[in-house]
Amino acid sequence: MKRGTLYSFLIIAMIAFGCENGDANAEASITGGTGTGGSLASFLVTGDNLYVVTGSDLKSFNLTDGDGIEHRGTLTLDSFLETLFLYESRLLIGSNDAVYFVDINDPDSPRLISEYQHFTSCDPVVARGNIAYSTLRTTGCRWAGQELLDVIDISDLNNPRTIASYGVNTPYGLTVTQDYLLVCENGGISVINNSDPANLQWLERFTFESGAVPFDIINTGDVMIVTTDSGIFNIELSENGTLTVLGEITAD
Amino acid sequence: MKSNLIKGLVLLLFCSVLSSCWSDDYSREFPEGEVLGYKPIYSSSIDRNVVLEPPRTFISPGKIYVKNDYLFLNEQLEGIHIIDNSDPTAPQNIAFLRVHGSTDMAIRNGVMYVNQFNDLLAISISDVNNPTLVSREDGILESPSLNLTPPEFGFYFECIDSSKGYVIGWEKTTIENPKCYK
């Protein structure tokens, strides 16, 4: 398709959808700075560096404005690496059998600080205020085993230790806000009071009317963006922990 | 590597206890005809064009990246849905950026870094209506442990035919008369 035709299509599409965003607005809001991936992200940008987990490798790249990508360092670990989370200038890496804590003060040579072992499963990890949360899923991932939400004390990163483990059902991504822990599990979203990490309280299990299965949640501050097997939802989290769908795009 | 050996031994021990492990798959019977499974993608088949297209319906949505009012949603191994989320009550699917083999992305200063299988691409998106490929690093995301078997357990897959090149990824699709399983 010719580019001209494509532009016409986009313009028509924008008019048709009543989109009032002009190009000027679009440009202003997309350049400068970095954005946010979910808890399942395998790419992460911080400062002038891009980190990617691929196979058993954590690779670091130096980025320069325009087109520069330079591969600087590789840290090879013993597991199949899956997810990246930035926590106070450290990387938390979720893998198929451990959570790794990695020092990136020298972005060119990421250094392993410590690891938190669990038996084989698929797990993203997030953290806030010295506490890390990791879901351990085996459904569609490894043979049958227990699926867990682990709460880990990381106040001493050299010595991460388990605070508590909770049974969950087919967990995927998760996010931790100021007041709550939200976990995609059991075909819905669990809203969990985490004010006492040793004694999590399940408050609500939210499900989509359409039966969409949530995979990951990004907390943008204003809204929660939830990815599912059929599309994306914008969700509002109220102060008392209830979830309300604001808008969505799903497959027809 | 030593710890890998230990893990292997632990695994063997585990498998001898649990009958549901993959060790008993040696005696697995393979189905005749069509079945859902994984098919290897060979290096010779990459579509290297990066093209902005009209919006597409979501089929197999994967990873997401949020940058200000925009959402970038990966359509697994196909490309990236570009969504204007400036009004959270009415997000708009505005375009599709075709990047064959993409699975994840991140953005810095108006440039999107995205994989095309094991290549790393830099695409300028400072004007989302006109994304431009500015850099490509061939094979830079290759890892020795990748691609020998499908990413998920519990599926049949088409056995690798090395005469077709090296395997750069796996596609979940209908396959016929598979002879491999993981």
H-state helical runs in A93-209 = none
**Record: contact B111-A229, CB cut-off 8 A:** no
pLDDT tens sequence across A61-86: 999 988 899 999 999 999 889 999 99
Give the total number of structural domains in chain B: 1
pLDDT tens sequence across A4-45: 444 444 444 433 333 333 333 333 456 788 999 999 999 999
Per the structure, the complete domain to which residue B75 belongs is given by: 48-137
Asked if residue B49 has pLDDT above 90, the reply is: yes
The residue of chain A nearest to residue B141, with distances taken between CA atoms, is A54
Q: What is the largest CA-CA distance in chain A?
A: 59
**Record: contact A10-B95, CB cut-off 8 A:** yes
Stretch B73-91: mean pLDDT: 97
Nearest to B107 among A34, A227, A252 (CB): A34
In the prediction, which pLDDT does A158 show?
A: 95
Q: Touching check for B73 and chain A: CB below 8 Å? A: yes
The residue of chain B nearest to residue A122, with distances taken between CA atoms, is B152
Chain B residues in contact with A250 by the CB 8 A cut-off are 58
- Output phi, psi for A3, to 5 deg: -60, -40
Interface A–B counts its CB contacts (< 8 A) at 209
**Record: contact A252-B57, CB cut-off 8 A:** yes
Torsion of CA A226, A34, B71, A233, to 10 degrees: 20
Closest by CA to B160, choosing from B174, B152, B170, is B170
Q: Worst-scoring range by mean pLDDT, A77-81, A191-195, B85-89, B110-114?
A: A77-81
Written as one string, the DSSP assignment of A6-52 is HHHHHHHHHHHTT----HHHHHHHHSSSB-EE-TT-SEEEETTEEEE
Asked if residue A102 has pLDDT above 90, the reply is: yes
**Record: contact B87-A32, CB cut-off 8 A:** no
Asked if residue A105 has pLDDT above 80, the reply is: yes
Chain A residues in contact with B143 by the CB 8 A cut-off are 54-57
In the prediction, which pLDDT does B78 show?
A: 95
In the prediction, which pLDDT does A141 show?
A: 56
Q: Is residue B80 part of a domain?
A: yes
User: What CATH number is associated with residue B112?
Assistant: 2.40.10
Q: Are strands A214-219 and B61-67 parallel, antiparallel or unpaired?
A: unpaired
Stretch B157-172: mean pLDDT: 84
Nearest to B68 among A30, A141, A143 (CB): A30
- Mean predicted lDDT score pLDDT of chain B: 84
In the prediction, which pLDDT does B17 show?
A: 39
**Record: contact A41-B59, CB cut-off 8 A:** no
Q: Is residue B33 part of a domain?
A: no
Q: Are strands B156-157 and B34-42 parallel, antiparallel or unpaired?
A: parallel
The residue of chain B nearest to residue A249, with distances taken between CA atoms, is B91
Q: Is residue B52 part of a domain?
A: yes
Written as one string, the DSSP assignment of B23-69 is GGGGGPPPPSSEEEEEEEEEGGG----EEEES----SSEEEEEEETT
Distance CA B87, CA B82 (A): 14
Between residues B146 and B25, which one has the greater pLDDT?
B146
Chain A residues in contact with B128 by the CB 8 A cut-off are 26, 30
In the prediction, which pLDDT does A29 show?
A: 54
Between residues B141 and B5, which one has the greater pLDDT?
B141
Would you tell me how many other CB atoms lie within 10 Å of the CB of residue B129? 17
B positions 25-54 inside 8 Å of A (CB): 52-54
- Residue identified by tokens 């990873």 is B63
Stretch B71-91: mean pLDDT: 97
**Record: contact A45-B107, CB cut-off 8 A:** yes
The complex's ipTM?
A: 0.85
Q: Touching check for B77 and chain A: CB below 8 Å? A: no
Residues above pLDDT 70, as percent of chain B: 83
Would you tell me how many other CB atoms lie within 10 Å of the CB of residue B43? 14
In the prediction, which pLDDT does B27 show?
A: 63
In the prediction, which pLDDT does A145 show?
A: 66
In the prediction, which pLDDT does B145 show?
A: 63
In the prediction, which pLDDT does B41 show?
A: 86
Interface test with A, best of B49, B56, B57, B68 (most A CBs within 10 A): B68
Q: Is residue B99 part of a domain?
A: yes
Give the confidence band of A54 by pLDDT, cuts at 50, 70, 90. very high
pLDDT tens sequence across A127-159: 999 999 999 887 665 555 678 899 999 999 999
Q: Is residue B150 part of a domain?
A: no
pLDDT tens sequence across A159-205: 999 999 999 988 999 999 989 999 999 999 999 999 999 999 999 99
